[in-house]
Amino acid sequence: MARGMEGSVTSFQRQTAGLRVLVVEDTHSERCFITHLLEKMGLKVTSCSSAEEAIESYRQQKADIVISDWRMPGMSGPELCQYFKKLPFPPYMLLLTGNNLTSHTVTGIESGADDFLTKPFIPSILKARVLAGARIVNMQHQLENKNSELNASLIKEHAYLQQIQEDLNSAAKLQGSLLPTSSTLQNEWRLATQFQPAQELAGDIFQCLEIDDSHLGFYLLDVTGHGIAASMQSFTLAQRLSSNSCDWASLDPALIVSQLNADFEDPEHTGRFATLVLGIVNTISGRVKLTVAGHPLPILLKEQGTAMMELNSGIPLGIDNTYQYHYDTFFVSSQQHLILYSDGLYECRHPSFGEFGQQRLINTCANANQLEPESLLHYLAHAIDLWQQKEPQDDISMMILSAPDSFPSNNYSQRPTSCSTTTEGSNKDILPNENNRSADEIVSMGDWQALKYEALIDSELIESELIESELIESELLESKQSENQRVL
Amino acid sequence: MKFSPLALDNACLITLPKEMVMSQTPTLRAAITRQIEAGSNKLILDLHQVEYIDSSGLSILVSALKLTQKKAGEIILLSPSAGVRALIELTRLHQIFTIYEDQTAAIEHICEL
């Protein structure tokens, strides 16, 4: 028995170690009695004869538990409770009452008391109530500590995330700055570009570079996925394709792509691959040699018959490093434009009408074929933006390579030289649909272009076009459904 | 995703889910890789439920192909929907994958000794 008591004393001491108690009691004898009892229990006690004095004392020194009489001159016990419970970290409140009335309990709890003790009480009851209070106070302390630890680590995480975000932003800026902007190139060829990453960093990358006085090299590549890993991969590939480390002087796109593919690495075995379209254009003759590796085929924009080009395509990069790529040869005539783009352009989805689709892309290009390349890209970007409801789903890259308004007098483009291949396989020549306009026609077309541009760029018009196409689609769907019903 | 054992111990039919997009890629790839590492080097990837696949979804097929090839195995794609087949053809992956439309024929092919 004695041992048991000893045990409980130890447990009490453990639970109440370091706790400070504030006793508020106006009757001198009772105040001394309670203080004496608590001190005997090993607690640190401060005592006051009124609530007002208690508030002042608490300001000087916080207490964990406040034991207060109910009825006192001036501020009462429940009023003192109310005062303390408004503090951000209130003490545990134990109210002493002279009776056991229900109304007192209600008032006490409403004012924020945590426990009650009816006077007169025996010391062991006081001790038990103090122990109950100590448990709660300790638990609160533990929670507070945990909370502040959590807050500290949250602040740390937040700072870390912010650091990553800043790094991403500067990487994105770097990526953007590496991409070519719209410009006039050698021999009056022109380049127009548009780039919209889905996240900060894109898996798309494109470039146009000067090989010699009469040849431009260009490519657009798209690494699976987007984000950091895809972007690092596309940086690596772009590095390999930079003019210093790549044999552009061979003027053989198939050779360049085969080499790039042979060096492609996927150390994590994620199956990551890249699609690519890479070409070399002779800026005097308009002859283009183009190699496609699993990439969507370019669109040749011309006054009549804008269409996706029919070219041979090899498998994407990174699948079989022994694969040998081939190239096709064709001509871009004056006032024709070669449009390269990533799949993000037509794979974007509308919540009810699905994918934008290659056909819609071609139609959109064909409808706007009188626009300046730069404006056409804006127009396409806007149409896509509306289609995917302004929430980018994948990286979108577009690049238009435009032939000059007219080639030098000896028009090579009408008589393509037969192309000798450096790789095995059949390379085919695609003859251009030649149409040279007179200067007058070009001028008048310029006026018309301005008009059409204004009309096209009007977003309402684009929206109405989209809605129109939606209506057509829903009609199609309905007719399909009724067909199905007939079948049933 | 569902794994169904076939008559041959090292063969398995994997039914892929409705969507194979970037957000699901790591989970799907890990599950298929585990299956191959556990000894299934002859796989039929059943695509008939797949309604939407993006390029990172395709990378799962590519990683599975490369891994089974390394283990002297084989992969067959089964019944891709028109949309999925169009994407496979656009990226020219049909040049490296065997595609079957009929499940019985696919199983016969993969299980023949």
CATH number at residue B72: 3.30.750.24
pLDDT tens-digit profile, chain A (488 residues):
444 445 555 788 888 888 999 999 999 999 999 999 999 999 999 999 999 999 999 999 999 999 999 999 999 999 999 999 999 889 999 999 887 777 888 888 888 899 989 888 899 999 999 999 999 999 999 999 999 999 999 999 999 999 999 998 888 888 888 899 999 999 999 999 999 888 778 889 999 999 999 999 999 999 987 778 888 899 999 999 987 889 999 999 999 999 999 999 888 888 899 999 999 999 999 999 999 999 999 999 988 888 999 999 999 999 998 999 999 999 999 889 999 999 888 888 888 888 888 889 999 898 887 889 999 999 998 888 888 888 888 888 999 999 998 876 444 444 333 333 333 334 444 433 334 433 333 223 333 344 444 444 444 445 555 555 555 555 555 555 555 555 44
| Predicted pLDDT at A425 | 38
Of B22, B58, B66, the CB nearest to A269: B66
Residues with Cβ within 8 Å of A169's Cβ and at least 6 positions away in sequence, in order, are: A200
* pTM tops 0.95: no
Position A203 scores a pLDDT of 87
Contacts of A198 in chain B (CB under 8 A): none
Domain span at residue B92?
Answer: 2-111
Say yes or no for a CB contact (<8 Å) between A275 and B91. Answer: yes
Residue A130's pLDDT is what?
94
Fold entry, domain A182-436+456-464:
Phosphatase 2c; domain 1 (3.60.40)
What is the predicted pLDDT for the residue at A26?
Answer: 94
- Residue A53 DSSP label: H
Crossing angle of the two packed helices A102-111 and A77-85, in degrees rounded to 10? 30
Name the interface residues of A facing B (CB cutoff 8 Å).
222, 224-226, 269-273, 275, 293-296, 313-316, 318-320, 343, 347, 355, 394
Rounded CA-CA distance A353/A367 in Å is 21
Q: How many angstroms away from the CA of B83 is the closest CA of chain A? A: 10
Residues contacting residue A304 through CB under 8 Å, at least 6 positions apart: A433, A435
Yes or no: say if A239 and A223 are a contact pair by the CB < 8 Å rule: no
**What is the dotted CATH code of the domain comprising A19-146?**
3.40.50.2300
Report d(CA A448, CA A465) in Å as an integer: 20
Of B61, B66, B96, the CB nearest to A315: B96
Residue in A247, A246, A21 with CA at minimum distance from that of residue A133: A21
Cβ of B55 and A343 within 8 Å?
A: yes
8 Å CB contact of B92 and A316 = yes
- Contact flag A224-B59 (C-beta cutoff 8 Å): yes
Sign of the alpha-carbon dihedral angle for A86, A87, A90, A96: negative
B25: contact with A, CB 8 A cutoff: yes
Asked whether the beta carbons of residue A269 and residue B63 sit closer than 8 angstroms, the reply is yes
Strand-by-strand arrangement of the B11-15 sheet: B2-5, B11-15, B42-46, B74-78, B98-100
pLDDT of residue A469: 59
Tell me what pLDDT residue A417 has.
36
How many CB pairs below 8 Å do chains A and B form together? Answer: 63
pLDDT at A176: 86
**Least trusted range by pLDDT, from A15-19, A22-26, B28-32, B33-37:** A15-19
User: Can you list the alpha helix ranges (DSSP code H) found in A61-122?
Assistant: 77-85, 102-111
Does position B103 have pLDDT exceeding 70, yes or no?
Answer: yes
Q: What does the pLDDT average to over B70-94?
A: 93
Q: How many domains does chain B have?
A: 1
Residue A455, pLDDT score: 43
The answer to whether the peptide bond before residue A88 is cis (omega within 30 degrees of 0) is no
Taking CA atoms, A284 is separated from A108, A176, A399, A413, A481, in Å, by: 96, 30, 20, 9, 55
Mean pLDDT value across chain B: 92
Name the residue ranges covered by the structural domains of chain A. 19-146, 182-436+456-464
Q: How far apart are CA A218 and CA A215, in angstroms?
A: 10
The partner residue sitting opposite B90, judged by closest CB among A296, A319, A394, is A296
CA distance A4 to chain B (A): 58
Q: Per-residue confidence at B107, pLDDT binned at 50, 70, 90?
A: very high
- pLDDT for residue B15 is more than 50: yes
Q: Which residues contact A234 (CB under 8 A, 6 or more apart)?
A: A202, A203, A204, A205, A221, A222, A223, A274
A29: its two tokens: 């004898």
CB-CB under 8 Å, A319 with B29: no
CB–CB contact A296 B54 (8 Å): no
Per-residue tokens: B94: 């049909």
Which of B22, B25, B62 comes nearest A319 by C-beta?
Answer: B62
For A206, the 3-state DSSP assignment is strand
> Cβ contact (<8 Å) for A319 and B66?
yes
Q: Looking at the complex, does the CB of residue B104 fall below 8 Å from at least one CB of chain A? A: no
